[in-house]
Structure 1
């Protein structure tokens, strides 16, 4: 439970025992102040209802970006696979994000003789080949999303890599043409001075890929909305679309801040996890604000007729030490569910599968809360359990299980549920839910963002079956399987949803 300090009005996490570049929505707390949701009467039982039209979902809608497989954990590590399979990813992205622009597929490491970011050049070389990746694909049944190297390789070499994948029995179904070229780094500008220059090359690559792999869908890089004075970034989409021909999709990356301060600047080296109830409510509101901006200013400006793939998304905030807290996991879950409301979005991949608490869903080692020094760290964090699920992984595990193989999505509404109110009068629901089906059985996810328990009738969600539920204090640093409260059982007429909880229903 959340404990309120009488004098300081701060929320404190429960004590934990230590086990053995992108688009950021910058929202100042002065502009976005939330009050805590009113506590519902405990005897009040809410009745969910379906709202809006049921949407079609690809069976391979949800997955993970496979960046960060550059250290001690490999794709074919049996311990990793044991942790990965329960997440039920339908998609896995290879070789990842930024590293894709410098990747030598033949050797499974970076190209030589080409300028790269310092953090990549400093890594100890190892081999991360398609053969390694194949083990995780086979174990999960996921579909690969390949990110080709348009920056430091050439078309024929990259076609050869796709041929190699096909020869290994890996499907060539989804292909991205590079990563984040709208960012104005020197090498991006040298290769593609303008978005039109990139589009011309994308046209050539798309035609060649389609000729050899006619079943493949090909996506080009689009830029998400960004509130900075960056002419390349801001003008990227218009310039791109004036020249781009063919292709099936556009990729977008979606990162959002906490709304408490400038997310680009580290506030201090480390700080305690002490936040007021109002700040917790504000943090949980930012995914809604960020989504509204992406949908109206980003997706809304793109032409109809191409799919939208969200191939990276997560919380990004250098100023607050909230990476790996349960409120982080809740926010990423909300973002995942909000995407489903846009039928043009056909695939979403959370950034990233493996690493530390900053973005990962699985810890790569025991130093999971020692985030990079340009981010504010939580003071005195616990050790993380290697290959345990992070807060994000613990939350998205339920979402992945609910979405697995489902082809229909139905949004749920909760009349009478309290609203988290913004200072300007806008509101965000304290309960968020979706039901998923495949013509045979159904699953559902319901998230309670309120600081109090809410009860719902289950007949309109899943009338018979079982449920599993994960909840916790919002400021808990999720370091091990014991960090969160987990319950499960058969579905009764009514079900209590604890504060800050995610519940999965299964028929």
Structure 2
């Protein structure tokens, strides 16, 4: 290992495809090499890491036959796919495959006939065709994926949810994961106060969810259930939660746990949208240095928040929506650096042994996120020419790398050699040990594979110019890596993701 500058910098990663890997064996000779260090020897997960994407039903249906996109999702290897999405889940009628009619055209009422305000977003989907349980099941089969279903706790009853989720199970598709609600800690959603009017306290929401969990245990007994917990967006400048968070959000976890929800669920579901810093006149090099350490500082600040510390040690954690928000950094839209930051955040979070499920938000687009792939265009049900699905951009590339390298891993550990800008992560599943390296810095790094636990390796590197947009006229370079003439030294390029396996 050469010092700090030569040892890693931040984010990213990728996997080794058989056709693109090289196997490096050290030269024969006397036994001069030290014994390899152990690679991730303490399993902490019984089911292994599961990765995937959030699928917004309202922006998905036109893509069911997109072979490139389906191929990209399949490349994740048994991905988790989340239906019918996030905010729209609370206004979605699964039997009709569209938003609840009353919440599109007139007086919007809840499952218990309380009158609500129709969210403006859903008024625009008047002729939306069909995203039903059969559609969800078909998509899961097409991508060799696993469903994570989100219950509707605003405009549907417990019986409605059990009937709809049961309809998915009736197709023969397994229903192993269920998120029992979507963001009920936000009192105001899509310009309405519907959630807060229906559930004025966390305890009132727990009462509904407890009934739902009991009914679902009977209908789909093998499913794992998760309750939505709140983790604040942190301001890196102050280390404090965003000023926009109100008392409902900041006391949600405490009140939900006091109401006893932990005894009814297997996991807690979390959403993360850290806000990337803007350039503020900095040069390219200075701005990229700031971005390279963002994930490290943001994750450290998150772990200090009281809302995070309340999460039970004996429950699993699912991150069902994750994306680095570029509201202050429009030039990062779709760039390789955005993908690297996204990957770095995932890797740091997976270092928490409770983390089982991690989903990127999102697969196609919505009013907030379509800008990632089609800047300046308002979303539409049928995307305009030039639309590029999220799974085919830089963030899709890094997610694919992560999924191939970490999917099924029962052990994921951040190596001590890591820095704020460069991550070295060790993982292990039934097939053996792996290493993921994310160098988000402008400097190459040099490593001795023996210090990573290997005597011989097979390794692949992906890299691109950090502010370029792979998939939009910019080439993503994928190469096999070998060691130098000593048989043990490997060089990692700047702004690269490397995955390796070996013995």
Aligned residue among 312, 334, 337 for 1:303: 312
Q: CA deviation at 1:236?
A: 1.4
TM-score (normalised: structure 2)? 0.78
State the match for 1:151 in structure 2.
154
Matching residue of 1:183: 186
* Unmatched tracts of structure 1, length 5 or more: 1-36, 42-46, 262-266, 268-272, 374-381, 420-427
What is the alpha-carbon distance in structure 2 between the residues aligned to residue 385 and residue 506 of structure 1?
32
Partner of 2:490: 495
Q: CA RMSD in A?
A: 3.1
Distance across 2 between alignment mates of 1:214 and 1:100: 22
Alignment of 1:410-429 (within 5 A): 410-414=413-417, 419=419, 428=420
**Distance in 1 between residues matched to 2:276 and 2:458, nearest whole Å:** 34
Residue 200 of structure 1 corresponds to which residue in structure 2? 207
Pair 1:456 & 2:447 matched: yes
Match of 2:42 in 1: 54
1:443 to 415, 426, 434: 434
CA change 1:173–1:462 in 2 (3 A) is same
* C-alpha displacement of 1:446: 0.6
Give the number of equivalent residue pairs: 432
8 Å Cα contact 1:465-1:506 kept in structure 2 = yes
Relative to 1, partners in 2 of residues 1:99 and 1:342: Cα closer, same or farther, differing over 3 Å?
same
Residues 107-506 of structure 1 mapped to structure 2, 5 A cutoff:
107-113=96-102, 114=108, 115-123=117-125, 124-185=127-188, 186-225=193-232, 226-228=241-243, 229-245=245-261, 246-260=264-278, 275-297=283-305, 298-321=307-330, 322-355=332-365, 359=369, 368-370=374-376, 385=388, 389-414=392-417, 419=419, 428=420, 430-459=421-450, 460-480=452-472, 482-488=474-480, 493-506=488-501
Hey, what does 2:87 align to over in structure 1? 98
* Cα distance in structure 2, aligned partners of 1:343 and 1:386: 31
- By how many angstroms is 1:205 displaced? 0.9
C-alpha distance in structure 2 between counterparts of 1:39 and 1:403, whole Å? 25
- The answer to whether the 8 Å contact 2:53/2:80 transfers is yes
Shift of 1:274: 7.4
Deviation at 1:125, TM superposition (A): 1.0
Describe the shift of the 1:139–1:466 C-alpha distance in structure 2 as closer, same or farther (beyond 3 A).
farther
Structure ranking higher in helix proportion? 2
1:49/1:369 CA distance change after superposition, 3 Å: farther
- 2:11 is matched with which residue? none
The answer to whether the 8 A contact 2:463-2:477 is kept is yes
1:359–1:69: structure 2 CA closer, same or farther, 3 Å change rule? same
478-487 vs 438-447, greater mean Cα deviation:
478-487
Aligned-partner Cα distance in 2 for 1:72–1:140: 14
Shift of 1:60: 4.9
215-224 vs 383-392, which moves further? 383-392
Give the SS at the match of 1:146: strand
Q: 2:53 aligns with which of 64, 76, 79?
A: 64
Distance 1:164 1:310 in 2: 26
- Would the aligned equivalents of 2:266 and 2:316 in 1 still touch at CA under 8 Å? yes
Question: Gaps (5+ residues) in structure 2?
Answer: 9-34, 103-107, 109-116, 233-240, 380-384
Shift of 1:190: 1.6
60 and 164 in structure 1: CA distance in 2 versus 1, 3 angstrom threshold: farther
Q: Distance in 1 between matches of 2:290 and 2:355?
A: 26
Residue 325 (structure 1) shift: 1.2
